[in-house]
């Protein structure tokens, strides 16, 4: 049997570990074929760098999708992340409708903001578009800020993590992995709602007191790979949380610049069944 195939719709930064430079190696290490559909090419990611170049790939996206469709390509999963415009959001909606088949897993990381703030590139129309796109997902992976945006609530008005994921599940129709959730001091992880079981459950691991760019992309990529492998949602989320913790721990110990992201490459064996 061919290995699972995943369409990854993200931007590509030449330097800085995030988006496709994270998704490609992680999903490959987890035994899947990652097929990238770049939304943009940047010389570096935008966090902590000045003067970066930006090449918008919006006009190429439908051409790529049309060629893939002509080849009758089929995907076991579709995985989207940061998007740059309302039009791109619409193109991803169309891609999902065109390529989704029975059994195709659709994961939407609704990247819109963090720390209670919307990213400066995101307009109200884009946020509304992301809400529509997320309705097509089997699994969404918002952080707390994005959860508030999806629910139309002020950042400080979110209910408990368990109630938040249940409300985000659209009446139990989609699974939710709410990231950045701490259930006790010194711990962090996620609250999960599994649409298959109808249950909410937290996964927690030790908190590393450093923040690095791209950890959300690492988490969502591992989660997608684990779900395609057939792991249940909470097991996939725990693997993701532990891998991010291990990467953050290694990166903090090496005192590497935050803007470069986490040094995950030496730890890929953790995802292939090898030793760390």
Mean pLDDT of the 225-249 span: 97
Helical pair 61-70 and 86-99, crossing angle rounded to 10 deg:
10
Partners of 206 in the β-ladder? 187
Copy the structure tokens of residue 207: 């908190």
Per the listing, tokens 């097929």 go with 35
pLDDT at position 274 is 47
Q: What mean pLDDT do residues 229-235 have? A: 97
Determine the pLDDT at residue 1.
63
Tokens standing for residue 198: 């109808």
Q: What is the per-residue pLDDT across 171-196, written as a single tens digit (0 to 9) for each?
A: 999 999 999 999 999 999 999 999 99
User: Is the pLDDT score of 122 beyond 60?
Assistant: yes
Secondary structure (3-state) at 17: coil
What is the SS3 assignment for 122-161? CCHHHHHHHHHHHCCCCEECCCHHHHHHHHCCCHHHCCCH
What the block records as the tokens of 93 is: 């909606």
d(CA 57, CA 37) in angstroms, rounded, equals 9
Segment 20-65, tens digit of pLDDT:
999 999 999 999 999 999 999 999 888 888 888 999 999 999 999 9
Domain regions of the chain by residue span? 5-259
Q: What does the pLDDT read at residue 106? A: 98
The answer to whether the predicted template modeling score (pTM) of the entire model surpasses 0.85 is yes
- What integer pLDDT is reported at residue 276 of this predicted model? 39
More confident residue, 91 or 49: 91
Q: Which tokens in the block code for residue 231?
A: 């792991």
Query: 131-148, pLDDT tens digit by residue?
Result: 999 999 999 999 999 999
How large is the average pLDDT for residues 252-264?
A: 91
Instruction: Convert the pLDDT of each residue in 95-121 to its tens digit.
Output: 999 999 999 999 999 999 999 999 988
DSSP, collapsed to helix, strand or coil, labels residue 251 as: helix
d(CA 11, CA 50): 18
- The percentage of residues in the chain with a pLDDT greater than 70, rounded to a whole number, is 98
Which pLDDT score, from 0 to 100, does residue 29 have?
A: 97
pLDDT of amino acid 275:
40
pLDDT higher than 70, residue 84: yes
| 273 vs 208: which has the higher pLDDT | 208
117-118 and 113-114 beta bridge pairing: antiparallel
pLDDT of residue 103: 94
What one-character DSSP code corresponds to residue 183? S
Mean pLDDT of the chain: 95
Arithmetic mean of pLDDT, 69-90: 97
The CATH number of 5-259, from 3.40.190.290, 2.40.160.20, 3.40.1190.20, 3.40.50.300, is 3.40.1190.20
Is residue 85 predicted with pLDDT exceeding 50? yes
């Amino acid at each position: 049997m061919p290995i699972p195939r995943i369409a990854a719709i993200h931007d590509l930064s030449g330097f800085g570990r995030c988006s496709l430079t994270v998704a490609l190696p992680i999903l490959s290490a987890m035994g899947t074929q990652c097929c990238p559909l770049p939304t943009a090419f940047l010389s570096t990611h935008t966090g902590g760098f000045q003067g970066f170049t930006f090449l918008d790939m919006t006009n190429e996206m439908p051409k790529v999708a049309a060629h893939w469709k002509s080849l009758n390509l089929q995907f076991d999963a579709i995985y989207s992340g940061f998007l740059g415009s309302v039009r791109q959001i619409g193109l991803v909606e169309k891609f999902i409708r065109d390529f989704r088949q029975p059994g195709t897993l659709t994961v939407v990381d609704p990247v819109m903001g963090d720390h209670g703030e919307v990213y400066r590139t995101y307009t109200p129309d884009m946020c509304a578009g992301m809400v529509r796109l997320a309705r097509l997902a089997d699994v969404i992976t918002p952080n707390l800020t994005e959860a508030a945006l999806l629910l139309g609530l002020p950042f400080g008005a979110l209910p408990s993590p368990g109630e938040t994921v249940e409300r985000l599940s659209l009446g139990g129709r989609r699974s939710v992995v709410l990231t950045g959730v701490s259930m006790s001091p010194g711990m962090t992880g996620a609250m999960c709602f599994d649409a298959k079981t109808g249950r909410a459950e937290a996964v927690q691991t030790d908190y590393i007191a450093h923040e690095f760019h791209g950890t959300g992309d690492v988490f969502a990529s591992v989660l997608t790979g684990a779900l395609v492998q057939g792991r249940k949602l909470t097991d996939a989320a725990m693997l993701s949380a532990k891998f991010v913790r291990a990467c953050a721990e290694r990166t903090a110990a090496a005192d590497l610049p935050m803007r470069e992201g986490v040094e995950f490459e030496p730890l890929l064996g953790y995802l292939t069944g090898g030793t760390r």
